Structure 1
Amino acid sequence: MPVVFRFFSVFPLWLLHVMGSAMGWVAFCASPAYRRRFLANSALAGYSFGAVRAAVAHAGRMVAELPRLWLGAPLPCGMSNEACVEQAYAAGRGIVFLTPHLGCFELSAQMAARHWSAVHGPITVLYRPARQPWLATVMATARNRPGMLAVPTTLSGVRQMIKALRRGEAVGLLPDQVPPEGQGVWSPFFGRDAYTMTLAVRLAQQTGAAVVLARCERLSWGRGFVTHFETLPAPLDERLEAAVLQINQAMEHLIRQCPEQYLWGYARYKQPRVEAAAGGAA
């Protein structure tokens, strides 16, 4: 499989997106469970299928562009409102970048690292290692690139993120990812309670880091991407559950800016898995 990844990593982006669009529709039509979840989640947020049908193809594009994203030449990506990131770095307290499962979310961290790591240090990103050994190797190689440091979803990984923030560096998280049991709280997301990680809030509260929202929008016809940055509308509440709700609302805000690129098929409202060895990581 690594050979296959390398083979596709040299394909032009437009071709990968054409192939990915087809993959997305095949998955949508072939999996009743995925289709029901996609329709239920988007309807909960107030969208008809017609309003978000493009997200079916974008889910496939996300998968198809991974070989190029991980192993290929740098992808073209512009930036919008990078001044808010400069201001956050200038404060010297570190940055917690937050992005939902929207667009090319992995590229947002790469783009920030490409632009700021030389001056402000690497961006530490949290990831869950793949179960398949070959994919775990590819992911580790791809995510530990110049300006980026990938750490696993363990207590050790969280400690590395805290240390990075205290050095004035940045970390990146996907706060709409369902954490293991004991590492989150139930909080409304598009009007329905979803088990939501507390890690993003704890990192910011314990270190005084700035919170910056990011979303990486996929442009049409393989023209590349644009990463949009903005600050959290208000300081995080000191109360944990209230602050977690703020983060969920911020993710809703980002998703509503580009609903046709959100992964509506993601099992956002599932029960958290049990990980006996992961206690205290959040």
Structure 2
Amino acid sequence: MLSRLSLFFIAIFFQLPLFILHGLGELLGLVAYQFDRRFKERIDANLKHAFISSDENNLKELTQLSVREIGKCLMEAPAIWFSSPQKNFRWIKQCYGWQHVETALKKKKGIIFLTPHLGCFEITAQYYAHFHPITVLFKRPKLNWLASIVLSGRRHSQVHLAEANLHGVKQLMQALKKGEAIGVLPDQVPNEGQGVWAQFFNTPAYTMTLVSKLAESSNATVLIGFGHRLSRGRGYDVYIEPLGQDHSPQGINDRLEMLIRKYPTQYLWNYQRFKKPNK
């Protein structure tokens, strides 16, 4: 367990300017790729599954850029957790597609935000919560000390956390009934029995059925939220766009794949997307 003094110094460290944290993150990603065999093998395997580039030189360049962005992701998340909501909000430079939110709110049926492991997925809920309440589904980290940091860091006056269990699903349904928004990581591997196998980059991936069920039962608007990481630690642009008419697991995977192909270096390629689900 980390002592309070240790947490204090960690919090101070992550108050460094974002451009410094992102620079350190790039170095961290490169070092991890060089010396962490499992990290390297997972990224290489996932990029080959994706088959984004058939050219060997382009693939190497994509890999190098991707590991740098993964390092940034690892460094920016604690910075967001240890920062105030006001500071996090100031890191957002532009928001594109907010009109889709306004249209959805007028329907009073709720909003389902799909935020994949792309770009800065920690910042999107924080941005929305600056204006309206949102309930976010999450998986509790296995390490208790990390869980306490994550939970306290993700709390916001208008961010409510729903754990990935039956009670958490009920929280999501209640929020939608009130016409509020919920947030889900759609490419997170659910437990066995809570998903189906669907193609993702031409590879079977166990995909949650929760989004499809919630959309069907609530008639909520399904939107994709993406926090695009800007270069040189300048902050983030938030993109919001409709998912489309197909809310099925395969339809969601197809739509996410299109978005990831537009910004391939910012996807979390070390995530075990193609693993077997836990029982």
Structure 2 length as normaliser, TM-score?
A: 0.91
Structure 2 regions of 5+ residues with no counterpart?
A: 53-58
Amino acid at match of 1:123: I
**Residue 107, structure 1, aligned to residue 123, structure 2:** yes
- Paired position in structure 2 for 1:68: 79
- Paired position in structure 2 for 1:174: 185
1:27 corresponds to which of 23, 32, 45: 32
- Paired position in structure 1 for 2:46: 41
Q: Give 3-state SS (helix, strand or coil) of 2:67's partner.
A: helix
Contact 1:184 1:198 in 2 (8 A): yes
Amino acid at match of 1:140: L
2:209 corresponds to which of 189, 195, 198: 198
Deviations 1:54-74 (A, max 9, x none): 110111111111222011142
**Residue 53, structure 1, aligned to residue 64, structure 2:** yes
Structure 1 regions of 5+ residues with no counterpart?
A: 237-242, 275-282
Pairing 1:8-157 to 2, within 5 Å after superposition: 8-47=13-52, 48-73=59-84, 74-75=87-88, 76-77=91-92, 78-114=94-130, 116-117=131-132, 122-157=133-168
How far apart are residue 5 of structure 1 and its match?
A: 3.1
Contact 1:80 1:229 in 2 (8 A): yes
Tell me whether 3-12 or 137-146 shows the greater mean CA deviation.
3-12
In the alignment, the residues of structure 2 paired with residue 66 and residue 5 of structure 1 have an alpha-carbon distance, to the nearest angstrom, of 13
RMSD: 1.3
How far apart are residue 84 of structure 1 and its match?
A: 0.9
- Paired position in structure 2 for 1:188: 199
- Paired position in structure 2 for 1:244: 249
- Paired position in structure 2 for 1:223: 234
How many residues matched?
Answer: 263
Taking structure 1 as reference, are residues 4 and 129 closer, same or farther at Cα in structure 2, changes over 3 Å only?
Answer: farther
In the alignment, the residues of structure 2 paired with residue 132 and residue 33 of structure 1 have an alpha-carbon distance, to the nearest angstrom, of 20
How far apart are residue 49 of structure 1 and its match?
A: 2.9
- Paired position in structure 2 for 1:165: 176
Percent identity reads 39
How far apart are residue 235 of structure 1 and its match?
A: 4.5
